[in-house]
Amino acid sequence: MTSLWTSEEIATATDGTASQLFEVTGVTFDSREVGPGDLFVAMPGTVYDGHMFVEGAFEAGAAGAIVSRPVSGPHVLVDDVAAALEALGRASRARSGATILGVTGSVGKTSTKEALFAALDRNRPGKVHRSVKSYNNHTGVPLSLARMPRDAEFAVLEMGMNNAGEISALVKQVRPHLALITAIAPAHIENLGSEEAIADAKAEIFSGLERGGIAIIPNDTPHRDRLVKAARRHADQIITFGGGDADVHAIHAVTANGGGSLISAALLERELTFTISQRGEHWVSNALAVLAAVEAIGADVAVAGLALADLGGLKGRGERHHIELGGGEILLIDESYNANPASMAATLKSLGAEQDVSRRIAVLGPMRELGEHSQELHAGLAPAVLDAHVDRLILIGEEMKPLAEEVVGKISLDLVASVDEATEGLLKSLRPGDAVLVKASNSVGLAKLVERVAGGVACSM
C-alpha cells in the first residue's frame, strides 16, 4: 500500500521526535481497530489512557505510534498526543489538493455524507475520502483528516456539535470548499436553548469556507433566511435545496417499485430523473442536497444519480433486515443510531407507508439532550405515531411517558423500563408479516435489540 505518512512527516507536523524511521498506511486511536501498517495514536482518556494499549497495538501490526512517553517500538514522541493528532490533521489538509466538502445538520448528516461519498466515488472510483462512522467531533475530525490519502481528489467530512462554537473550531481545520447543512431541528436544544441558536451554531460551518466557497442550504426550514444571511458573509455562491422556490427541487417524486422514490429534479443547469433506494420523504431531501453539491463542484450528476439508486442500507440509519419467522418473514427497520423529533416523525411516516405488512410495530426510546423541552417534544410525537397507523407501540423509559399518555387508549401500548424488557416483549409477540421500526437516541442502546432480533437474518436490503 502507498505510504500515508512517514515518521519524518509525522515528526515535522507534530513537532515531535521520531525514535526511528518508519512508514504507516493508516491512522487510528482505537486499539481495537489497529491493522497492519497503522499508526496508533495513544490518546489520553477519562477512563483509559491510550498508552495502556500501545503494546497490543504493535502486536496487532501497528507500524508506529504517537506517544507522550517513550515506548518500546517505533514511535514519535510528542508533548501532547491530542494536540499532535490535531496538528497531523492540519498537515494533511495543507498538503491535500482535494476538493473538500463539509457536512453538518441536525438530522441526516451522516446519511447525507455517505450518499455524497457514494455519488462522488462513482464519479472518481477510489479517489474519494470520507469520515467513517460518525467521527465528527474534536477527535474524530482531525483523525478523519489525518487519514486522508495523499492522492484524494474529493473528501467528504462530517462535523457535529453539542454547543455553540464547536463547529467553528472544527471547520478551521477542515477548511471546506463547499459547506452543506442538511436540516435544522431541536437536537441538542438542551444546551443551546432554541432552534434559532441551533441554526446559528450549524451556520458556523460557513465561517471556514475557502475563497470561492459554496454554501448548500435547506429551503424547507423556517430558519432558511437566517442561514442564508450567515452564509453571505463567507460564501461566493449559495444554493438552496428542497421544496418551494429552492434552487434545486423535486418536480415530482413518487414511490418507486420495491420502495425508495422515483424523482424528477430541477437542478441548476438541467433536469434529472433518477431513483433512490432509500425510503421516505426525508431521503428525497437528502438526495436533492447531494445532487446540489455534486453539480456545484462540477462532477457528473447523472453518474451520481446511479450511485443513489444503488445506495445500500446504513447500519442504525434505516438498514432493513428481512428475518425468517414461522414460514414467513418480518421486516426490521434499524433506526437505532440516533433520534430527534424531526427524524422520529420522518421514520414513523415511512413505517406508515410500508405495504403488504400485517402489523406495524414501533419500538421507540427517548430522544436525548432536549432539556426542559423534553416532555413537550416527546408528547408531540403522538400525531406521527397515530398517522403511521402503528398497531403496537413499545416505549422505553420514563422519558417516553408523555408520549404514552397522549396515545393511551388509542393504540396497543407497552411502556417498559429497559431495552432488555422491550426486547423480550417484542420477541414473544412477533409474527410473520410484522414490520418493526426501532428508533431512539444512540445512548439508549437499542442496537442491542436489533442484534438479538436480527440474529436469524435471512437476507438484508
**109 labeled binding residue:** yes
Give the separation between CA 96 and CA 88, rounded to whole angstroms.
12
Q: Position of cell 436525548?
A: 368
Residues 370, 388: Cα–Cα separation, whole Å: 24
Helix or strand run (H / E) with residue 250: strand 248-255
Task: Supply 415's cell numbers.
Answer: 411502556
Provide CB contacts within 8 A for 225, sequence distance 6+.
none
Per-residue DSSP letter, 125: T
From 343, 303, 294, select the one nearest 109 (Cα to Cα).
343
Say whether 106 counts as a known binding-site residue: yes
Q: Is 285 annotated as a binding residue?
A: no
174: left (phi over 0), alpha (psi -120 to 50) or beta: alpha
Label the pairing between strands 412-416 and 154-158. unpaired
What are φ and ψ of residue 371, in 5° steps? Answer: 55, -135
CA 213/CA 244 separation, integer angstroms? 25
Convert 196-222 to b/e letters by CB count within 10 Å (16 or more is b).
eebbbbbbbbbebbbeebbbbbbbbbe
The rounded radius of gyration (Å) of the Cα atoms in the chain is 23
3-state helix, strand, coil in the chain (%, to 5): 40, 25, 35
Q: Binding residue per annotation — 105?
A: yes
Residues 433, 357: contact at Cβ < 8 Å? yes
In angstroms, rounded to a whole number, what is the distance separating the alpha carbons of residues 245 and 356?
A: 36
**Which residues are annotated as part of the binding site?**
105-111
**Which residues are annotated as part of the binding site for ATP?**
105-111
